[in-house]
Structure 1
Amino acid sequence: MGNTNFDNFAFAMLTVFQCIQWRMDRCFIWMNDAMGFELPWVYFVSLVIFGSFFVLNLVLGVLSGEFSKEREKAKARGDFQKLREKQQLEEDLKGYLDWITQAEDIDPENDEDGDEEGKRNKTTSTRFGKTASMPTSETESVNTENAGAEGENAGCCGSMCQSISKSKFSRRWRRWNRFNRRRCRAAVKSVSFYWLVIILVFLNTLTISSEHYNQPNWLTQIQDIANKVLLACFTCEMLVKMYSLGLQAYFVSLFNRFDCFVVCGGITETILVELEIMSPLGISVFRCVRLLRIFKVTRHWASLSNLVASLLNSMKSIASLLLLLFLFIIIFSLLGMQLFGGKFNFDETQTKRSTFDNFPQSLLTVFQILTGEDWNAVMYDGIMAYGGPSSSGMIVCVYFIILFICGNYILLNVFLAIAVDNLADAESLNTAQKEAAEEKEKKKSARKESLENKDGDKGENDRKKAIEAKVSVDEEAEEEKEHPEPDEEDEDEPEVPAGPRPRRMSELNMKEKITPIPEGSAFFIFSNTNPIRVGCHKLINHHIFTNLILVFIMLSSASLAAEDPIRSHSFRNIILGYFDYAFTGIFTVEIFLKMMTYGAFLHKGSFCRNYFNLLDLLVVGVSLVSFGIQSSAISVVKILRVLRVLRPLRAINRAKGLKHVVQCVFVAIRTIGNIMIVTTLLQFMFACIGVQLFKGKFYRCSDEAKQTPEECKGKYIVYKDGDVNSPSIRERHWHNSDFNFDNVLSAMMALFTVSTFEGWPALLYKAIDSNGENVGPIYNNRVEISIFFIIYIIIIAFFMMNIFVGFVIVTFQEQGEKEYKNCELDKNQRQCVEYALKARPLRRYIPKNPYQYKFWYVVNSTGFEYIMFVLIMLNTLCLAMQHYGQSKIFNDVMDVMNMVFTAVFTVEMVLKLIAFKPKHYFTDAWNTFDALIVVGSVVDIAITEVNPPEIDPTGPPTSSEDSARISITFFRLFRVMRLVKLLSRGEGIRTLLWTFIKSFQALPYVALLIAMLFFIYAVIGMQVFGKIAMRDGTQINRNNNFQTFPQAVLLLFRCATGEAWQDIMLACLPGKRCDPESDYNPGEENTCGSNFAIVYFITFYMLCAFLIINLFVAVIMDNFDYLTRDWSILGPHHLDEFKRIWSEYDPEAK
C-alpha cells in the first residue's frame, strides 16, 4: 500500500494510529486481503474496540475531569476576590459612617429627610438596575409591568409630556395613551397573541422551505408576496410590543433584540431588492435567520427553555475556546505553508485540493485535518512531496500527527468537556428550579389564605417566615415518612454488621417475586383458582421453562442469521423454513399459556398491559401472518419477513440486567428529545440557507471542459493515468452531485453527512467551485463560501453534537445514581464500603527454609526487578527491529538474541519456582502469564530448530516466522505485556489500569445491547440489500457486502466507526445491479437496492455514533471521576493501596 504497511516498526505504528482514528477504509481492505493469517479481522476489530472506544476515551475522561477541576478553582478564586472586595468596601463604609456620625451630631434636624430620600433613590436605582441587567431568552419573562409603568414616565413620552402644559387636552391624551398601552400590553402577553405569532413563524418557515431548484414561476411569485406580507406582520408585532412595553422594557429581552435585528434586516433587504441595488439572493439569507424565531415556543416549554439557557451559558465558555482554536489553526496553517507550500504538485495527472499553497487554502486544510476527515490522505501527499516513504520524507508525518493529536484529541475534546460540565450544572439547576417553583406555589396559596384575614407589612413578614418554616418542616416530615432513617430500622438488630451497607436495587430484588395470577377470569371462562390456570402459572414461572424459551429465542435468531439472502429457494433456506415453523409454534404456545395465566387484556395485570409482552405478541404475530401469505412476490410479505428480526428483543424481557440497560436507553432517548428538536431546527435553518446559496449549482459534465447541458453531448477521450498511448472513448453526460442542495430535504441529508465529518471536503470543494444554476463548475470560484461550512461544523458538529453526547453521558450517570436513591451515602462512600466488604486479605508467601529464603529475597529485591525491566525493554527493542526484507545475517542474530532472552526468562521462572514453590507461584496471575510465555517461546525454538525454514536464494529474504501461517512466535510478542506489570508500580498508571478494569466490569449488558443492535441491523441488511451484486470499484464489493452474516456485521462495524457510511448508503439505493445468482425475473437485472437504505443507515449511524458508543464514554467518565478529583478524599483506590502496603507488614494476613 506504499505509505501504509506493517513492514517495520515505524510503519506499523503509523498504520495502527490510523486504524485507531477510524480510517477504516484501508484497515478493512488490509483485514480481508492480509496474507498468512487466519481471521485477521479479530486483530483489527479488537484494535478499534480497545484503541478507539477505551484508550482514546480515557483522554476525554482526563480532560473532562481537569476542566471541571480548573473551573472550580477559578470559581473559588473569583469568590475569594469578591469576598476581599466586600471586606474592603465594608472597611471604607465604616470610615464614611464614622464621618457621617460626627456630622449628625452637628445637624440632627435634616437626618430623617435625608435618610428617606437616600432610601428612595437607592430603591429606584436598584429596581432600574435589576430590570436592565436581566437578559432573558424568553420574550416576556421580565417584570414588564413595572418597567413599562416606569417607561411611561421616563421612557418614550416622558419628556414630551413634561414640555406640554398641564391642559385638559394633555391630561385626556395621557389617560387615553395609558389606557391603550395597558390594553396592548395585555394583548401582547396573552396566549392567543403568542400562538398567532407562532402560526406566522410556521407560515414563514413553510414559505422558505418550499423553495427548490427548477420551481415554477407562480410559486416564486407566491413566495415573494408571502414574504412581504409576513414581514409586514412581524414589523407590526415589533411596533406593538415597543409601544406597549416601552423601549427600555422591550430591549431587555434577548429575543426582542433578536426580533428587532431580523425585522430591520428584512426591511433593508426588501428595499435594496425593490430598488434593484442588490440581487434577491444577496441578503436572502436574512429570511432564513427568521426561522430562529421558532425558538419562541420555549416560552411555554420549560425544559426546552432551560436547555436554551444552558446552551447560551456554554457559549460563553466556548467563545474563549474558539479563539484558542482559531489561533491554533493560524499557527499550523503558517507552518504548513512554510513546509508544503507549492509542493503538492508531484502528480501532474491530479489536481490536489487539500494543499498549503496560500493562506485561505492552508486554513481550510488544517481545519479538515482537525475534523479527522481524510487527514491521512493529506499526510501521504506531504510525505510524497518530500520524496515518498522510502526517503527521509517520512519525518514530515510528525507535523500531521502533532496537529491531529493537539487539535482533535485535546482542543475538540474540551468542547465535550465544557458541554458535559454545563449540562450537569443545568440538570441540577432544573431540579432546583422545580423545587423552588413548588415552594413558591405553596407560599403563594398560603399567602392568599392569610391575606384574607390580616393586613400590614409586619404581619405579612411574620407570616412569610411562619409559612417557610411550616413548609420546610412539612417537607422534612414527608421525607422522613418516605425514607425512614436506617438507624431506626436497624435498632432491633444491632448484631448485624452489614447495616450501613448500601445495597443496589439489583441486590435487593435478587429473589424475584413471581407475579401472582390476577383477579378476573381468563377468556371469560377460567377463574383465578381454576386448576388449569394454576398449572399454567406454575409452568411458565418455572426456571427450566424460562431458560428453554431463552434457548429457543437464541436458536431462532441464529436461524435468521444463517439464511441465504441470494437464493431464497436454496436447500438451506428450505430446512431453516421448517425450523421457523417449529420455533413459531413453540412461541405461540408460550404466549397462549401466558394469556391463559394472566388473561388477555381486559383486566389489570393482564398479558397485553405490559409493553414487553406486546413486543412478544407482535413478533409472533408477524411470523404467523407471513406463514399465512406464502407468495413471496407480495412486498407486504417481504416487510413481514424483515420484521422477524425483532425476535432477539424478546430476550430483553427475560434478562433483567439487559432490561435495566434498555430502560436506561429509553429514558435517555426521552431526555434527548429536547436537544434533538434544537439540533433539527438549527439543521433545518442551515439547510434553508444552503438551498438559497447552492440550489441547482452542483451540476457538472463528465467532460470537465464543457460548462452547460447543451455543450455536454457526444463523446470525449480520456487518457488512463495521463498516458497518451492508452486512450479510451467515453460518453459525455450531465449529472448532479449525489449530495446536493436542490431542495430542503436533500440539503438536510447533505448537511447531516457533513456533521458526521464523512466526505465533507468533497462537498466543500464542489460548493467552492459552484458557478450558476445548471452551469458547470469553475475552479476555486467562490472560496469565501467555505465560511458557511465552517460555521455549520462549529455550531452543529463541534457544539450541538457534543451537547448531544454530553446529554447521553449526564443521563446515564443520573440513571446510575437513581439505583441508590434510598441511600444516604454518596457514590464515593458507597464504593469505599463496597470495596471494604468485598476485600480479601492479601497474603505474601515468605519461606521458612534459609536457602529458599535467599532465592525469595533475590527475586523480590528492587534490583532484580530493574534488571528484568531492562531485559524486557531490550527484548521489546529486538522484536521492534525486525522488518520486511531483512538479511540472513540479521535473521541469525535475531534468532540468537531470541534464544538468549528465552534462556534468561526461563532462569527467572526457575528462580521464582524455587523461591515460591509451584503452589504459591501459580496463585499469582502474572506468574502464570510469564510461565505461559516462557513455555511458548521454548516450544517455538524447538520447532524452529527441528524444522528450519527453507529460504529461497532467488526471492526476497524472509524471516523465520514466515514459514508457518500462525507461528507460535506470537507468544514472544506477549513479553511486551510484562512491561504493563512493571509500569503498574507507578501510581498514575495503576489508577489508569484500575479505571480500565472497572470500565470493563460495567459493560457486559451494554455490550449485549450493542450485539443485539448489530444482529438486528445485520439481518435486516441481508434481507433487503443481500441481492446487490458485488463489483470492484463500488462500495458493495467482495470486502464489503450483505451476502453473509459475518460480512454484514463487519460492514456495520465499519459504518458504526463512521468510515464512508454515506457512500455505502448510496450504493444500496434503488437501480443497482442484482447478483447473477439471485432469483430475479427477466428484465429485473437492475432493480436491486431500496430507498429504505436512507432510513436504515441514518438510524443505525445515529443509534451507534450518538447513543451506543457514548455508553463507553459514559462508563469511562463515570469510573474516572475519582482520578481527577481532590486526592485528599478517601476513595476505593486508596483502600487498595492500603491493602497492598499492609500485606508487606502482615505477610500472613493475620
Structure 2
Amino acid sequence: LSNWLYLGNFPKFCPAGNQTQVSCLRGECSNHCYMTPQHVKQLPRWWKVKVMDLGLLLSSKFLYCLLSPPRYWTSLSNLVASLLNSVRSIASLLLLLFLFIIIFSLLGMQLFGGKFIFDDMQVRRSTFDNFPQALLSVFQILTGEDWNSVMNNGIMAYGGTSFPGVLVCIYFIILFVCGNYILLNVFLAIAVDNLADAESLTSAQKEAFEANVNEVKDPYPSDDFPGDDEEEEPEIPLSPRPRPLAELQLKEKAVPMPNASAFFIFSPTNKIRVLCHRAINATTFTNFILLFILLSSISLAAEDPIRHDSFRNQVLYYFDIVFTTIFTLEIVLKMTTYGAFLHKGSFCRNYFNILDLLVVGVSLISFGMQSSAISVVKILRVLRVLRPLRAINRAKGLKHVVQCVFVAIKTIGNIVIVTTLLQFMFACIGVQLFKGKFYSCTDLTKMTEEECKGSYIVFKEGDANHLQIQERRWLNSDFNFDNVLSAMMALFTVSTFEGWPQLLYKAIDSHNEDMGPIYNYRVGISIFFIIYIILIAFFMMNIFVGFVIVTFQEQGETEYKNCELDKNQRQCVQYALKARPLMRYIPKNPYQYKVWYLVTSSYFEYLMFALIFLNTICLAMQHYGQSDDFSYLSDQLNVVFTGLFTLEMVLKLCAFKAKGYFGDPWNVFDFLIVIGSIVDVILSEVDESEDSSRISINFFRLFRVMRLVKLLSRGEGVRTLLWTFIKSFQALPYVALLIVMLFFIYAVIGMQVFGKIANVDGAQINRNNNFQTFPQAVLLLFRCATGEAWQEIMLACQPGKLCDPESDFEPGEEYTCGTNFSIFYFISFYMLCAFLIINLFVAVIMDNFDYLTRDWSILGPHHLDEFKRIWAEYDPEAKGRIKHLDVVTLLRRIQPPLGFGKFCPHRVACKRLVAMNMPMNSDGTVTFNATLFALVRTALKIKTEGNFEKSNEELRAIIKKIWKRTSMKLLDQVIPPIGDDEVTVGKFYATFLIQDHFRKFKKRQEEYYGILPSKKNPNQNEIELQVRSV
C-alpha cells in the first residue's frame, strides 16, 4: 500500500480505507462498552482508536494487526501478557542501562571529545564530540557492532599503541564487558522467567479445555466398553512405571507388512513380497543404502558449478545415474513390500518416504531435462542426506538434540508471530519517516536527481595531484524504507547488529523525499532505532535463544518423566556404579618415601605454582623488535625453567615409579610438556649454531605456552569446572552433526545457485569468499553463521552481478548472474544458525553447568570426585575395600552434601550411619561402590522410605532397566537381594550405639544406687524405652 501511495496511484483510496477501518474499530469498542457492565474499563481502548487519527505514525493499519489477533488466540494472548509483564519487570533494568550509558557517555566526552580528528581527513561518525553523539557511540559499543574501530580511534587519539594510548582500551573493554556481557544478558533472564509463566498458563488452560471436551464427548466411562481393553498395549513389568518406548528399544524393529495387497497383485503371503520385506529390513541393506547416500552427497559436493560440461561433471553424471538407479530400486522394493498409498501402513503414508520419493523423482526428471536452468532441481537430491535420521533411535543423544530442534521450532511459533507484528509495526513507521529519503548523489554537493548529472572530479586517496573524473549517479541505499517489505528487510539487518550504524547515520542525514542527505540533519530520529533495538534485538531476539535453552532443558526432563529417577539422581547413580577407586602409591623404601613425601606436600605444589606463574610472565614479556640482550636473557630463562620442570618430573618418577607416575593423566601431560620443552631447547641451539632452515622450532615452542594448562590441575573448583566442561562434549558431537548436515545442504545449494558469480577483488564475492568450490562455500557460510557482514554477501548475490568468464553464459549475458533467491537463502540460513542450531551449544553447556546456579546443598555428580580422592588415602592399593571402622572417619573428612564434614560429632556421624543401607562383608570390610552408592542413595533419598526389602527390589529393577549391562555381582554388592541376611554398617553402628547407651545407663544407675541394679529393678522399663529411642 505504501508503494502505491508513493507512486501516486493510491491517493484517494488510502484515506477512505483508513476512515473505514477506524469506524469499524470504533463500532466494535462501542459494542463492548454498551454490552459490558464495567464499560468504563473499555475507555482506554476507545482512546487508542481516537489517537489513531492524530498522526501517520500510529495509523490504524498496523495497530489493528497488533491489537486484534492476540485477543482471539489464547496462547498468543498469554504470550503477549507475559511480554507485557516482562516490560514491567525490565523497567528498573532499563533505568540502570540508561544511567550506565549516561555515565560512560560523559566519561567518553571527557576523554575523547574533539580528539577523533586525524591526518587522513576522513569524517568519523562515532565520536564523543557532544552529548547526543556520545550516547549513540556508547550504545553502538554496547551492541558490539564495529566497536573495535571506535576503540582503535580512541587509542590513536592518544598517540597509538604506545603509552599512554594503550591504556585507552581499558575504557572500551570495561564498557563492552559490563554492558554487553552483563547488563544486556539480563534481558534474556527476565524474558525467559516471564515466558515460563505464559507456558504454564497456556498448559493449564489447555488441560481445562480438554477436560471439558472429554466431559461432553465421552459422558460414559471407558469401563462400560470392555472391548477396548483388547487394544491396549501390554505393559513391560520392569518397574512400577513404564519407561518411554524409545529407551527400551536398542534396535529398530522391522516394520510389519500390511495385510492389504500391493499394487493389487502381491498378497501378504506372496513369496516375492515376503522376500522384499526380508531384504529391506536387513541390516546389510540399510547400511548399503546409507553408504550410497553418503557417496551421492559427496558427488554433489564435488560438482563443478561453473563448467557444467567439464570432464569431472561428466564422470559424476554417470555416478549419479548409478545412485539414482539404486535409490529407485529401493523405492520399488519398499512399495512392493508395503504398497503404494491406498491402505494404512503403505509407503506414502510416511513423511520420510515421501521425501525419498520426491528426491528420487526429481533426479529422474532431471535426467530428461538438458537445459542448464532446469538442472538446478537436481539440488533437491541432497535431501537424501536426511535419510540417516532413521537411525536416530540408535543414537540416543542425536535423537534428543533433533527432538529439541523440532520442539523448539514448534514452540517459537507464537514468538515469531509477535515479533513479526512488531517488525511490521516498526516497518510501517519507518516507511512514513524515511520513504524516498535515502537517495543520494555520488557527488555529495548535488542534492536532487536533476542536479546529479554530468561528471565531477575526485581526488584519489586525498591527493590533489591524482585527479580522477567520474560520472554522477543518483543512487538509492541498498537497505531503505521505500516500502514495507524493504523496511522489514532493513530492520531485520538492524536486529542482527550488522551494519546498523551506517543505516542509522543515513537516517540522521535524511532530508526530504527525493532529496540528498544533509549532515546530522535530524539527530533525534535515532530514537526510532534505539527503541527498535531495545525492544526487538535486546528483548525479542533473545527470546529465541531462551526458548532453545528452555526447550532443551525441558526435553531433558521429559526423558526422565516416566522414570523413578530424575536427571540428577540418574547421573549420580551412574557415577556410583561405574566409578573405580584410585591407586595411591606409597613407597616402602625410606629414601624413596622421603622423595614421595616431598613431591606430595603442599609446599612443593605452591613452589611449582610459583614457577609456572613466573614462566608465564617471562613468556608474556616477549615482543616484536626486542633487543638481542633481551632475547638472550629470555632464552636463558627458558632453559632454567625447563631444567626446573625436568627436575620435577625426575623427582616424581623416583617417588611414584613409572607405573604410578603415568597412571595419572596430569603427569602424562606434564611429561609431554617437559619432553617438548627439552626438544625446543635443543633445536634452538642447533638452529643458532648451524643456521639450519630445515628445522622449524615454532611447533615445539608451543610447549612453553602449554605449561599454563598445568594450572588447571591446581584447585578443586578449577578441576570441577574442567570436568564439567569435558562432560559437555558428550552431547556436542550430536549438535555438531546437525550443523554439518545444515552446512552441507546450504553449501551445495549455494554452489549450484551462486557458483557462477565472478570473483572481483574488493567485492564481497572474491577469490577468498565465493561459492565456486565446496570448501569455499562452507567457509563463506561459516562467516555468515557468525553474522560478520552477512547482509553484504546477500547483496553481492542479488541479480545483475558479473558472471565468471569461464561459465557458460551467452553473449550479452555477462551481468545476469545472481538471483533474488539469495534473500530467502541467507535469511533462512542465518535464522537457523544464529537463532537455533548454534545456540544448542549454549544449551548443552548450560545444561551441564546448572550446578553453578543450583543449591550447593543438593548432591550432584561434581561432588563425587572428592570421595574417590579421599578413599585412596584409606585404600592406596585400590583394592576397593576398607575396614568398617574407617567409614566414620572417611565420611567426616568428606564435605557435605556427600559426607558429614569435619565439624560433625562422632556420635552424630554414627547415628547417621544407622540409617544407611551400606552392606558389610563377612571380613568386616566395606566395598568402594557399595559405600558410594549408599551415600548417594541416602543423600538424594532414592527409595529410602517405606518397606526396606520392597524398596530394594524396586531399585534393583530400575537399575536393571536403565543400565542393562550392569553385572549382577556389582548389583548384589550395592543392593543385596532379598534372602541374603547381610550385615550392614548401619546394623553394626546401631548395636554399637545401643551398647554405648546401655553402658552409660548402667553407670548412672551405679552412681545413683551405689550398686548394680538387680534384674527385679523397677527401672527395667526405662531401659527398654531408652533402647527403643536409639
TM-score normalised according to structure 1 size = 0.72
SS of the aligned residue for 2:729 comes to: helix
Contact 2:156 2:165 in 1 (8 A): yes
Aligned-partner residue type, residue 239 of structure 1: S
- Tell me which amino acid in the other structure corresponds to 2:547: F
TM-aligned CA deviation for residue 484 of structure 1: 12
The alpha-carbon deviation at position 877 of structure 1 amounts to: 2.0
- Of 964, 974, 979, which residue of structure 1 is paired with 2:711? 979
Q: Decide whether the 8 Å contact of 1:1070 with 1:1091 is kept in 2.
A: yes
Q: Does 1:646 align with 2:353?
A: no
Deviation for aligned residue 1:1050: 1.1
Q: For 2:2, what is the secondary structure of its paired residue?
A: coil
Question: What is the CA–CA distance in structure 2 between the aligned matches of 1:706 and 1:1020, rounded to whole Å?
Answer: 43
Pairing 1:460-475 to 2, within 5 Å after superposition: none
Counterpart residue type for residue 973 of structure 1: V
Counterpart check, 1:221 vs 2:12: yes
Corresponding residue of 1:1083: 812
Q: Deviations over 1:897-918 (max 9, x none)?
A: 2222222222222222222222
Deviations 1:434-464 (A, max 9, x none): 3345567789999x99xxxxxxxxxxxxxxx
Aligned partner of 2:869 in structure 1 is: 1140
Q: Is the 8 A contact 2:764 2:796 kept in 1?
A: yes
In 1: Cα distance, 2:802 partner to 2:820 partner: 15
Q: 1:505 to 1:964 in 2, by over 3 A?
A: farther
Find out whether 1:1104 has 2:818 as its counterpart: no
After TM superposition, give the deviation of residue 306 of structure 1 in Å.
1.5
Change (3 A) 1:902 1:516: same
Change (3 A) 1:653 1:483: closer
* AA partner of residue 231 (structure 1): V
Pair 1:285-2:57 in alignment:
yes
Shift of 1:251: 4.1
CA contact (8 A) 1:847 1:856 kept: yes
Distance apart, 1:241 and its partner CA: 2.8
Cα distance between partner residues in 2 of 1:504 and 1:859: 52
2:374 matched residue in structure 1? 636
Three-state SS of the structure 1 residue aligned to 2:165 is helix
More moved, 575-584 vs 834-843: 834-843
Q: In 2, Cα distance between the equivalents of 1:772 and 1:780?
A: 13
What secondary structure sits across from 1:219 in the alignment?
coil
Q: Secondary structure at the match of 1:718?
A: strand
Q: What's the counterpart of residue 1009 of structure 1? A: 738
Matches of 2:241 and 2:652, distance apart in 1: 40
- Separation in 2, partners of 1:441, 1:617: 39
2: distance between equivalents of 1:312 and 1:571?
Answer: 62
Amino acid at match of 1:301: W
Contact 2:448 2:515 in 1 (8 A): yes
Identity %: 69
Partner SS state of residue 728, structure 1: strand
Partner of 1:276: none
- Structure 1 residue 864: Cα displacement: 1.6
1:1001 is paired with a residue whose SS is coil
Q: 2:696 corresponds to which residue?
A: 964
8 Å CA contact retained: 2:82, 2:198: yes
Q: CA deviation at 1:591?
A: 2.1
Contact 1:349 1:721 in 2 (8 A): no
Q: Does 1:402 align with 2:174?
A: yes
1:716 is matched with 456
| 1:799 CA displacement | 1.0
Q: Matches of 1:1108 and 1:978 in 2, distance apart?
A: 33
Tell me if the contact between 2:427 and 2:481 (Cα under 8 Å) persists in the aligned partners.
yes
Does residue 418 (structure 1) correspond to residue 155 (structure 2)? The answer is no
Letter in 2 for 1:653: R
Q: Give the aligned partner of residue 51 of structure 2.
A: 265
Q: 2-side partners of 1:439 and 1:520: how far apart?
A: 38
Alignment CA distance shift 1:804-1:655 (3 Å)? closer
CA distance in 1, matches of 2:331, 2:543: 43
What SS does structure 1 have at the residue aligned with 2:6? coil
Q: Does the Cα contact within 8 Å between 1:1025 and 1:1068 map onto a contact in 2?
A: yes
Aligned residue number for residue 237 of structure 1? 28
Q: What is the distance in 2 between the residues matched to 1:1005 and 1:417? A: 26
How big is the shift at 1:506? 5.1
Structure 2 CA distance for aligned equivalents of residues 342 and 334 of structure 1:
13
Q: How does 1:758-797 map to 2 (within 5 A)?
A: 758-797=498-537
**Structure 2 CA distance for aligned equivalents of residues 432 and 483 of structure 1:** 28
How far did residue 348 of structure 1 move?
5.2
Equivalent residues, number: 871
- Whole-Å separation in 1 of the counterparts to 2:583 and 2:265: 66
Tell whether the 8 Å contact from 1:288 to 1:689 is kept in structure 2 after alignment.
no
Change (3 A) 1:1138 1:301: same
For 1:1-40, list aligned pairs within 5 A: none
CA shift digits 1:809-829 (9 cap, x unpaired): 222222222222211433322
Unaligned runs of 5+ in 1: 1-209, 270-282, 450-469, 491-498, 952-959
Distance apart, 1:504 and its partner CA: 7.4
Could you give the per-residue CA deviations for residues 361-404 of structure 1, whole angstroms, max 9, x where no partner exists?
11111111111111111111111111122442121011011000
- Judged with a 3 Å threshold, the aligned counterparts in structure 2 of structure 1 residues 782 and 920 are, in CA distance, closer, same or farther, namely same
1:371 is matched with which residue?
A: 143
> Which of residues 39, 49, 54 is equivalent to 1:250?
39
8 Å contact kept, 1:288–1:688: no
How big is each residue's C-alpha offset from its partner over 1:114-158, in whole Å with a ceiling of 9 and x where there is no partner?
A: xxxxxxxxxxxxxxxxxxxxxxxxxxxxxxxxxxxxxxxxxxxxx
- Determine if contact 2:22/2:60 at 8 Å carries over to the other structure: no
Question: Separation in 2 of the partners of 1:547 and 1:1121?
Answer: 39
1:874 aligned counterpart, secondary structure: helix
Residue 318 of structure 2 aligns with which residue?
578
Structure 2 distance, partners of 1:505, 1:900, is 63
Contact 1:213 1:743 survives alignment (8 Å): no
CA distance in 2, matches of 1:373, 1:744: 25
Could you tell me which amino acid in structure 1 is paired with residue 811 of structure 2?
A: P
Summarize deviations over 1:74-96 as a string: whole Å, max 9, x none: xxxxxxxxxxxxxxxxxxxxxxx
Judging changes above 3 Å, is the alpha-carbon distance between structure 1 residues 851 and 257 closer, same or farther for their aligned structure 2 residues? farther
Residue 512 of structure 1 deviates from its aligned partner by: 3.1
Which residue does the alignment assign to 2:884?
none
Distance, in Å, in 2 between the alignment partners of 1:582 and 1:851 is 74
Aligned partner (choices 664, 671, 686) of residue 924 of structure 1: 664
**1:807 is the counterpart of 2:596:** no
| Matched-pair contact (CA < 8 Å) for 1:859–1:915 | yes
State the match for 1:823 in structure 2. Answer: 563
Q: Could you tell me which of 1018, 1023, 1032 is aligned with 2:747?
A: 1018
Measured in 2, the distance between the counterparts of 1:917 and 1:346 equals 66
Shift of 1:704: 0.6
Q: Give runs of aligned pairs for residues 450-849 of structure 1, distance below 5 A.
A: 489=237, 507-632=247-372, 635-638=373-376, 640-656=377-393, 657=395, 658-849=398-589
Q: Given residue 1073 of structure 1, which amino acid in structure 2 is its aligned partner?
A: L
**Match in the other structure for 1:312:** 84
Residues 961, 969 of structure 1: 8 Å contact kept? no
Deviation of 1:790 after TM superposition, in Å, equals: 0.7
Compute the displacement of 1:728 (Å).
1.1
Q: CA deviation at 1:1010?
A: 0.6
The one-letter code sitting in structure 2 at the alignment partner of 1:976 is L
TM superposition shift of 1:576: 1.9
Deviations along 1:56-84, one digit per CA (max 9) or x if unpaired, are: xxxxxxxxxxxxxxxxxxxxxxxxxxxxx
Q: Which runs of 5+ in 2 are unaligned?
A: 882-1030
Matched residue type, 1:849: N
Distance in 2 separating the partners of 1:288 and 1:858? 82
Going from structure 1 to structure 2, the CA distance change for 1:354 and 1:292 (only over 3 Å counts) comes to farther
CA–CA distance in 2 between the matches of 1:1116 and 1:531? 53
2:619 equivalent to 1:879: yes
